[in-house]
Structure 1
Amino acid sequence: MSTTAKKPVRVLGIIGLVAGLAMIVVGGATWGVVTSQLNDQRITVSADAPFLAGTTVNNPLSAYAQAQIIEEHTMKITSGKTYAELDREDPLRTTAQQGAFLRASLFTSVIAYGVAALVIGMGVLVAGNGYALTRIATGAKVDAKVEENTLATV
């Protein structure tokens, strides 16, 4: 591979490596911010939740567990009716609305964690590909030298 052909491979490799590392940092920072924001709310998973009962809501599983138990509590209070199914004058409609808002907020956190994990994972892949490309470009130099030495000895 000529020096001219190796340069774009090396440049793309460096770009991939830098972009991948940036994705890992940004994904990790997002995970940290979401965790910090949830911790600041001092939410504890309800004691009757099917899993993680009594734990602090500060990760995707605990946020999901709390969202699920909020739905269960809301449905119990409203006799299984959702906000849209309750009459406009029904005083339980406010409870259903608050339950839906709380669940939506917690699910937003769960989604944010998922996106952060996706970005971190993609960052690992992009950085790995970038590293591989830089090694290919470097390996091409080594192969050329080996080939040159082999031809000189013949």
Structure 2
Amino acid sequence: MTTTTARSAGFIKVVGIATFILGLVFAVGGIATWITVSSQLADEEITVSDDARWFAGDPVRGPLTAYAEADVINTHAMAATEGRTYAELGAEMSQVEPESEEHAELAAQRETVMTASFLRASLFTSVVAFGVAALVTGLGIVLALTGIAIRRLVHLTNQDASSTA
């Protein structure tokens, strides 16, 4: 084997090892993120509402239960406001007397929709975090396997070069 070939093989070995290690770091990071988000959701002791389309009564600890609770929160908010959004309620408030009973009712409904929106955004953030954690874990596994494959290819190439010499 020539010096250039040996250097190339050494470089490729290092790339294989680095890829494997990076893959492990990604996989561990993704799993740790999933566990952390799940634990934080569990600490909130949220239960999916009984009238949810899916997972009714289940504790919110994963992406599906978080999504189900976010969905039912929106259903409740829309029912409380007769289907009107935060912006629509604001537009209606501007068309009534500021000190009137109707204005106060619209303001209360608008606050309900705003609170629901904040809760839904928090739950959707956890859904996205679970997705990113799964993606990073998957990429980590692929990188680790790629690192192993690179190392094996170098080994096989070295064996072939030794047998032909």
TM-score by length of structure 1 reads 0.92
Question: What letter matches 2:128 in structure 1?
Answer: I
Which 4+ stretches in 1 moved above 3 angstroms? none
Matched, 1:44 2:74: no
Residue 85 of structure 1 aligns to a residue in which SS?
helix
Query: Which whole-Å CA distance do the structure 2 matches of 1:7 and 1:106 have between them?
Result: 48
Describe how 1:19-38 pairs up with structure 2 within 5 A. Answer: 19-38=22-41
The equivalent of 2:96 in structure 1 is none
Q: Which residue, 93, 97, 100 being the options, matches 2:117? A: 100
Question: What letter matches 1:56 in structure 2?
Answer: P
The equivalent of 2:160 in structure 1 is 143
Question: What letter matches 1:61 in structure 2?
Answer: L
Q: Which residue, 60, 65, 70 being the options, matches 2:63? A: 60
Question: What letter matches 1:72 in structure 2?
Answer: T
Alpha-carbon offset, residue 126 of structure 1: 1.0
Question: What letter matches 1:100 in structure 2?
Answer: S
The equivalent of 2:99 in structure 1 is none
Question: What letter matches 2:63 in structure 1?
Answer: P
Query: Which whole-Å CA distance do the structure 2 matches of 1:31 and 1:82 have between them?
Result: 33
Residue 89 of structure 2 aligns to a residue in which SS?
coil
Aligned residue pairs total: 148
Unaligned runs of 5+ in 2: 94-102
Query: Which whole-Å CA distance do the structure 2 matches of 1:4 and 1:105 have between them?
Result: 52
Question: What letter matches 1:130 in structure 2?
Answer: G
Deviations 1:86-110 (A, max 9, x none): 1354221110000000000000000
Question: What letter matches 1:137 in structure 2?
Answer: V
TM-score by length of structure 2 reads 0.86
- Range with bigger deviation, 18-27 or 78-87: 78-87
The equivalent of 1:18 in structure 2 is 21
Q: What is the aligned-residue identity percentage?
A: 46
The equivalent of 2:98 in structure 1 is none
Query: Which whole-Å CA distance do the structure 2 matches of 1:108 and 1:4 have between them?
Result: 47
Query: Which whole-Å CA distance do the structure 2 matches of 1:144 and 1:80 have between them?
Result: 73
Query: Which whole-Å CA distance do the structure 2 matches of 1:84 and 1:126 have between them?
Result: 46
The equivalent of 1:109 in structure 2 is 126
Q: Which residue, 69, 72, 92 being the options, matches 1:69? A: 72
Query: Which whole-Å CA distance do the structure 1 matches of 2:49 and 2:164 have between them?
Result: 69
Unaligned runs of 5+ in 1: 149-154
RMSD value, Cα? 1.1
- Range with bigger deviation, 54-63 or 5-14: 5-14
Matched, 1:120 2:137: yes
